[in-house]
Structure 1
């Protein structure tokens, strides 16, 4: 029970109660008599009693997650590329032990066991996404009063880490870069297959994402101002369908990237060889009468890498190679951020931390060389 006290000419009844999640809440009601205060107290307690029934209607985590995803997609809160990515996460959840278990029967232990089952199969980035969607779905179940509390919010619930080694997409070293360019130039494309050499050269000389390159139109190439206007990209949609997304990957992705002397003749040749297509793209798959996906170029890139005898890596290594050569040439992190279309400079610094760090010794040597020159001049003048 609570206690009474006088307050501003009225009686105040102060009491404590536990909410449905076990948290102790303190509250007070006021009236002109004890009977009035106790009446308000009883009415309040009746209003908060058993707000969550936890009566199972058979709803499972995958069912609720799919409903939320469909709702967000239909209301344009997420785009097709994001929706497709999230459906992939949904498939992972559906493939496990949580597929048929009603949410009311899901426990913290069962959630941890499911996440642990992923540690040998998926990278840590995937497990993070699965964990995030599971937590959000359980929170939704609480909001809808299907369950009283989310066990994933407990202080001792921790996401397990993947046991798979994280594979970094590394840039080409200077020696690898030279070898790759030689093999690319000499590589003979089989008859009837698409030639993606120019897209690869554009990426290595501009740092554009491959989806951005495949979405270029002649209007994007501004030789007057010597820049490429990046305004759209080829993205992955439902069932891995490649489609044109207006706007770049991020807000910062819409940008102007300078055209270097190495890049200009490649763009000029690409414009000359451009064929008519319904979308007006510089690069287009005439064999399929469709846009060119990043996967198509990546398969071509891998064949060239294998021909060169280089360690296998993804085509995104070309973008990292561009950035690495820029850093080695003294391009500042902020300028590089704008060229690459990174959201903030921290992404640039974190992604290429090793490259920036590797230049410290060279910078010290240049500094010491500069000091020696000054000392020599001073000594000569003094003499």
Structure 2
């Protein structure tokens, strides 16, 4: 039976079809009555094409060594530790095993196309993660082959899976009220951070990284300047993972957010119990809250409030949804969320914006109905007779 990534399929007429990439976007096809026959034909065709295109091979050394060298080069000094971990997981988990399985072949147009095809057909991971793997693969290839004249051709062989727009998961107004009531009644003051997320839209790592010095009580604002994440520890002599405190996701994520009056009042009350301005808010110590532990606390809160389980990020989606329902313009919302551009906000919350458009049209419809119920003046009625 065919394996994923082989580019061999059974046709409706009973024959088997195989395809081989000749150049970016161009394929050559072979046909046979059995899978075994078409596989052999495809192999012979591939060998012929490879001989015709010797320049499409990156000939320094085998690909697995190339990608390993890229990971252990100066990459660690150029990207954030959390970003490096993502690169590491994708390259070590998917790219290197693929080339080792291929017998440590060199980077070529064909192997690049085969890897792209395998990831696109990988049903074990989400579409978004497939895109992430291929994006990192492309980044690595571009740097490894930057002096190779065939670089562009090989990069063009990578086909990204089509994005699937999933509806954002947000809490209903009723669910939000139930959660807020549970938070206020909870003796665990760490829960107030969840309330803060509901009314500012900050991310899980960002709320874990907040310090008292980040809140300006006089101006009524809060600044987001750091984020906390748990990442792989590459020092094998120590723990497997470590807490990493770093800068937010992008330069746009470093932002100042106005705080509602009721949140400022709650923060003032809590601050009276805390002394050190340099301490993290959620832990009241010099050590930040572990995002994984805070996620677990949130799940317990959902159970206690009898609200359906959702990921922590649903709070951020809820903030954006409520903001749109209240008529906050998209540019302002985008800046509060820390998105790099408005188009990201538009793409994520397209469904919520559509619902607002429907409500607006509903108001116009009500206006029309109201007008038709009021007798209209005729031309004759409007003329004053002298």
The aligned counterpart of 1:208 is 202
The aligned counterpart of 1:92 is 93
The one of 135, 138, 143 equivalent to 1:132 is 135
Matches within 5 A, 1:248-259: 248-259=248-259
**Partner deviation per Cα, 1:344-381 (whole Å, 9 max, x = no partner):** 1111111111111101232233345567889999989x
Distance in 2 (alpha carbons) for counterparts of 1:85 and 1:264: 37
Distance in 2 (alpha carbons) for counterparts of 1:296 and 1:97: 35
SS at match of 1:229: strand
Number of residue pairs the alignment of both structures matches? 319
Structure-2 change in CA distance of 1:350 and 1:116 (3 Å): closer
Structure-2 change in CA distance of 1:324 and 1:154 (3 Å): closer
Offset at residue 172 of structure 1 (A): 0.4
Gaps spanning 5+ residues in structure 1: where? 1-20, 23-49, 190-194
The one of 111, 115, 118 equivalent to 2:119 is 115
Offset at residue 291 of structure 1 (A): 1.7
SS at match of 1:235: strand
Distance in 2 (alpha carbons) for counterparts of 1:371 and 1:168: 32
Distance in 2 (alpha carbons) for counterparts of 1:334 and 1:124: 28
The aligned counterpart of 1:280 is 279
The aligned counterpart of 2:335 is 338
Distance in 1 (alpha carbons) for counterparts of 2:376 and 2:114: 77
Structure-2 change in CA distance of 1:56 and 1:179 (3 Å): same
CA contact (8 A) 1:207 1:323 kept: yes
The one of 319, 322, 325 equivalent to 2:322 is 325
Offset at residue 335 of structure 1 (A): 1.0
Distance in 2 (alpha carbons) for counterparts of 1:342 and 1:202: 19
Structure of higher CA gyration radius? 1
Tell me the TM-score normalized by structure 2: 0.69
The aligned counterpart of 2:297 is 300
Structure-2 change in CA distance of 1:311 and 1:53 (3 Å): closer
SS at match of 1:132: helix
Q: Is 2:356 aligned against 1:353? A: no
Structure-2 change in CA distance of 1:173 and 1:131 (3 Å): same
Matches within 5 A, 1:192-203: 196-203=190-197
SS at match of 1:103: coil
CA contact (8 A) 1:207 1:320 kept: yes
The aligned counterpart of 2:169 is 170
Root-mean-square deviation (CA), in Å? 3.9
Tell me the TM-score normalized by structure 1: 0.69
Distance in 2 (alpha carbons) for counterparts of 1:179 and 1:346: 32
The aligned counterpart of 1:267 is 267
Offset at residue 126 of structure 1 (A): 1.5
Offset at residue 78 of structure 1 (A): 0.8
Matches within 5 A, 1:52-63: 57=61, 59-61=62-64, 63=65
Offset at residue 201 of structure 1 (A): 0.8
The aligned counterpart of 2:224 is 230
CA contact (8 A) 2:279 2:287 kept: no
The aligned counterpart of 1:103 is 105
CA contact (8 A) 1:123 1:166 kept: no
**Partner deviation per Cα, 1:35-76 (whole Å, 9 max, x = no partner):** xxxxxxxxxxxxxxx98997685x343x322322333434x3
The aligned counterpart of 1:80 is 81
Offset at residue 337 of structure 1 (A): 1.1
Structure-2 change in CA distance of 1:70 and 1:268 (3 Å): farther
The aligned counterpart of 2:179 is 180
CA contact (8 A) 1:206 1:263 kept: no
CA contact (8 A) 2:117 2:159 kept: no
